[in-house]
Structure 1
Amino acid sequence: MKKWIDITQPLSKEIATWPGDIPYQFNLSATKAQTGSVNIGQVTMGVHTGTHVDAPYHFDDEGEKTHDLDVNTYIGKAILIDVSKYDLIDIEVLEKYDLQEVKRVLLKTDPQRNSAVFPKDYTVLHPDVGPYLKKKGIMLIGIDAPSVDPVDSKSLHAHHALSNNGIYILENLLLNDVEAGLYELIALPLKLVGADGSPVRAVIRPME
């Protein structure tokens, strides 16, 4: 049986965070020497640090929160496509790929993605992909960029277009060394009550 491939950005003090967001930090709040039995750690971070899902509540006050998300959305057959030669992903780009018989699409936009550096520029999605992906029966879009919209966007047109068409969002995947093809995907969000997103441990396994 083929092994699972980890496509999660490592969470460490070196990881890049969204400009202005809370830096990732792990500390021991108590050591084994202090407790006599165990080390106890604590984590400080924004929920959109590293590989994560966006709950619709992130950009819509009436949208689903993280604890509302259906775990089945984040488990199942996915197609990974290499779109690194394009600066913008729109219908014209996606029409070049066979998206039949899958419900999840993963986009490799930058084979040299460095998770320690927040990119000055990155590939984003055109809002027209929302209706197109719905027509194709897609429920989840994943991308190796920090967002499906530009860093300075306030309107978040791609986020809304995807959500309005029933498509959920997975961001900041680590796909540098992964080839295009069909995979099984597991990328489960934590059940954070009331949250607008969640870090995930994303893994894929090539389909037999």
Structure 2
Amino acid sequence: MQKLWDISPPVHTGSPVFPGDTPYSQQWCATIGPGCPVNVSAITLSPHVGAHADAPLHYDASGASIGAVALDAFLGPCRVIHAIGCGPLIEWAHIAHAINPALPPLPARVLVRTYAQAPAQWDGQLSAYAPATIERLADLGVQLVGIDTASIDPADSKTLDSHQVIRRRGLRVLENLVLDDVPEGDYELIALPLKLTTADASPVRAVLRSLPG
């Protein structure tokens, strides 16, 4: 029996959001009662709330919307690497222990855990990827990078250097994952974005599944 890990944070009123982003809110448009057989709600949120996939449009004025992005990168073998307490940037030295010739070949998807426990509030001191780390991962054939913080760039970055690397190298990205209970190792990633035809990102229900055998 293959095991599943749900690596998506709960989304609700009060879920942390990047300062200035639209928080999650919900209102009921219809409720079960006399003359109404169903509950129907309306929700408002930034597509960057919770676990999400950025579209090229998020960091490139002429980039593709998330609905136009191919799904291949969001589904398949991945490696979870721990870099807990690494500091402001995930440098190559923080993840090199999980990328070496003694291990199976590196999958095309890499998720890095930086928190011992994911915070319930916005973290302005979040850990991000060093641009050089993403460059080296891309050199090794990685197609998607993921992280358990709100951004692959520092929260106060105005240049988004790591986002610019994934733009230039054609990588995909997942942010706001929850990897608290996931041991280092290889898994199958399933984290498909919605087909939002004009959006700069999409929420995902990200899960990991143990590999067979």
TM-score where L is the length of structure 2: 0.92
- Mapping of residues 118-129 of structure 1, within 5 Å: 118-129=122-133
Select 1:145's aligned residue among 146, 149, 164: 149
Contact in 1 for aligned 2:80/2:110 (Cα 8 Å): yes
- Mapping of residues 2-81 of structure 1, within 5 Å: 2-33=2-33, 35-81=35-81
Q: Matched residues in 1 for 2:192 and 2:179: separation?
A: 17
Q: Which AA in structure 1 matches 2:116? A: P
What is the percentage of aligned positions where both structures have the same residue?
Answer: 37
Q: CA RMSD in A?
A: 1.4
Contact in 2 for aligned 1:103/1:138 (Cα 8 Å): yes
- Mapping of residues 82-101 of structure 1, within 5 Å: 82-87=82-87, 88-98=89-99, 100-101=105-106
Q: Matched residues in 1 for 2:107 and 2:162: separation?
A: 21
Q: Which AA in structure 1 matches 2:185? A: G
Corresponding residue SS for 1:133: helix
Q: Which AA in structure 2 matches 1:103? A: A
Select 1:159's aligned residue among 159, 163, 171: 163
Q: Which AA in structure 1 matches 2:85? A: K
Q: Matched residues in 2 for 1:91 and 1:178: separation?
A: 21
Q: Which AA in structure 1 matches 2:2? A: K
Q: Matched residues in 1 for 2:3 and 2:40: separation?
A: 31
Q: Which AA in structure 2 matches 1:7? A: I
TM-score where L is the length of structure 1: 0.94
Q: Matched residues in 2 for 1:200 and 1:28: separation?
A: 23
Q: Which AA in structure 2 matches 1:26? A: Q
Contact in 1 for aligned 2:81/2:95 (Cα 8 Å): no
Contact in 2 for aligned 1:140/1:168 (Cα 8 Å): yes
Contact in 2 for aligned 1:13/1:24 (Cα 8 Å): yes
Q: Which AA in structure 2 matches 1:94? A: I
Corresponding residue SS for 2:79: strand
Q: Matched residues in 2 for 1:34 and 1:23: separation?
A: 33
Select 2:116's aligned residue among 111, 119, 124: 111
Indicate yes or no: 2:186 matched with 1:182: yes
Q: Matched residues in 2 for 1:204 and 1:35: separation?
A: 42
Once the two structures are overlaid, the 10-residue window that deviates more, 87-96 or 157-166, is 87-96
